[in-house]
Amino acid sequence: MCAPCAFCGGKRLAAPLGTRCAIDDAMDYIEKWKAERERAAFLALDDGTVFRGVAFGAKKDALGEVVFNTGMSGYQEILTDPSYAGQFVVLTAAEIGNYGINGADTESRALFLSGLVIGDLTEPNNWRSEKSLDEYLKENGVPGIYGVDTRALTLHIREHGNRKAYLCVGRGTRPACPQPEQERAPTEEEARAKAREWPGLDGQDYAAKVTCKEAYEFSPRPLSSVSRPGDESDVRHETRDAMNQSPHIVCYDFGVKTNILRALAAWARVTVVPAKTSAEEVLAMKPDGIFLSNGPADPAALTYAVENIQKLLGIKKLTRRCGDAEKGDSAPLRLCGRKIPIMGICLGHQLLALACGAKTTRLKFGHHGCNHPVKNLATGKVEITSQNHNFAVVGDGGRGATALPDCLEVTHVNLNDGTIEGIRHKTLPAFSVQYHPESCPGPHDSDYLFNQFRNLISRSEAENAERPLIESLRSPRLCVRYNQHHIL
């Protein structure tokens, strides 16, 4: 605050020229301009376009694919969504950072995005704030750039599609002393060339980069750390004995968000497993339901996941593992004798479709935001949904419901572009949606899908009450760390 003057008394009101406040404001602006000049940065796209701004966050350059998100709030949840791995996220909201960062709103154990691109960076002013956005990015090694014309950048992506890019957070336009060759910031032309040489996300398995390292049992946060109204109902206070009576869900972590696990843990015991966990190992955990999570990049690259889902559906035969494999016995077993309900979202939705014979394709600029209208074909109702994906299900080389395999039925469609947003299997207890029903951030129009999964599990339990899990699979070595028992 400036020293009191006759005009404002130190309150920094809009001051006329010549007053002490006006002089102080001018000095502050000059200092700010100098500081930003020293942190000049640019984002070079592979098509030659360059967007300039000011660096913040971690001081390191990065490569990635540029996508835009139209959400008006929820930047912390967006930042911590593993589905953004390998991408520069452009936030179209005008001001970012005004409510800071807090420990309760993170959606994963780390930040996996390549960088953040915003218009105006503001200092936090909120009672829940624990640190600034700038501090948070620095702590997590993620670079950012502000002062960018995000409207122009968004329009460019809409017209030309998602672009590969190189973010140079530079060392200022005028370094104080010459830098060593290995430290020299690339020129704009060199940055464009780096962007063009980067392989991109197509055909890349980024789920393996963001998944958990080993299986674990999810424990919801205590009530004291609940961050938004309504979360109280998601926190379980049952004893361990009561938890053991709840349905057991095994969640494949392809990049799962915490709020998804919290939604499931409201009524089930949840075990999270790495993306490459075999179907045989999952079945050894005796799940009542299997959840296929969201995740980044190209679903077609996850051939191992598609194979495992086919085994879990009973489409493909199981194989012996561990001790049996050591004996050289790799003969296939019979199909899984139990119909286990499966629910997938986002990447999990695409993987379920691939496992059933459908195909996926890349969208021009993807769906990223909290305001995407989706129609439920069974009810005719329209849901406003939260979405984050670059690929979509299309079936046998065509587009839309008519291209799907006969075993699948379309349940939801996107009202903006007509793409498939939901499917169900006609004879097996499996369904999926392209969007995020946990909606963090976003509206809660799609909460009912978790109850739909719960009801599917209840019906399946009644139907499978007398059936063994897998009659022929007896390997005592197929145990899991947190289940504490072997397959029968």
pLDDT in tens, 2-18: 445 544 554 444 555 45
User: So what's the pLDDT on residue 358?
Assistant: 95
Q: What is the CATH number of domain 207-463?
A: 3.40.50.880
Q: Cite the residue boundaries of each domain of the chain with CATH code 3.50.30.20.
A: 40-172+187-197
User: So what's the pLDDT on residue 483?
Assistant: 36
Three-state SS sequence of the chain: CCCCCCCCCCCCCCCCCCCHHHHHHHHHHHHHHHHHHHCEEEEEECCCCEEEEEEEECCCCEEEEEEEECCCCCHHHHHCCHHHECEEEEECCCEECCCCECHHHCCCCCCCECEEECCEECCCCCCCCCECHHHHHHHCCCEEEECCCHHHHHHHHHHHCCEEEEEECCCCCCCCCCCCHHHCCCCHHHHHHHHHHCCCCCCCCCHHHHCCCCCEECCCCCHHHCCCCCHHHHCCCCCHHHHHCCCEEEEEECCCCHHHHHHHHCCCEEEEEECCCCHHHHHHCCCCEEEECCCCCCHHHCHHHHHHHHHHHCCCCCECCHHHHHCCCCCECCCCCCCCCEEEECHHHHHHHHHCCCCEEEEEEEEEEEEEEEEECCCCCEEEEEEEEEEEECCCCCCCHHHCCCCEEEEEEECCCCCEEEEEECCCCEEEECCECCCCCCCCCCCHHHHHHHHHHHHHHHHCCCCCCCCCCCCCCCCCCCCCCCCC
User: So what's the pLDDT on residue 139?
Assistant: 96
pLDDT in tens, 168-209: 997 554 444 445 544 678 999 999 999 999 999 999 999 999
- Which residues are tagged catalytic? 346, 436, 438
> What's the mean pLDDT in 331-345?
76
Q: What is the CATH number of domain 40-172+187-197?
A: 3.50.30.20
Say what percent of the chain tops pLDDT 70.
76
Residue that wins the pLDDT comparison between 309 and 487: 309
pLDDT in tens, 226-247: 344 344 444 444 444 555 679 9
Residue that wins the pLDDT comparison between 231 and 338: 338
pLDDT in tens, 277-312: 999 999 999 999 999 999 998 999 999 999 999 999
Say what percent of the chain tops pLDDT 90.
67
Confidence check: pLDDT of 460 > 90: no
Task: Provide the pLDDT confidence category of residue 318 given band limits of 50, 70 and 90.
Answer: confident
User: So what's the pLDDT on residue 442?
Assistant: 84
Q: Cite the residue boundaries of each domain of the chain with CATH code 3.40.50.880.
A: 207-463
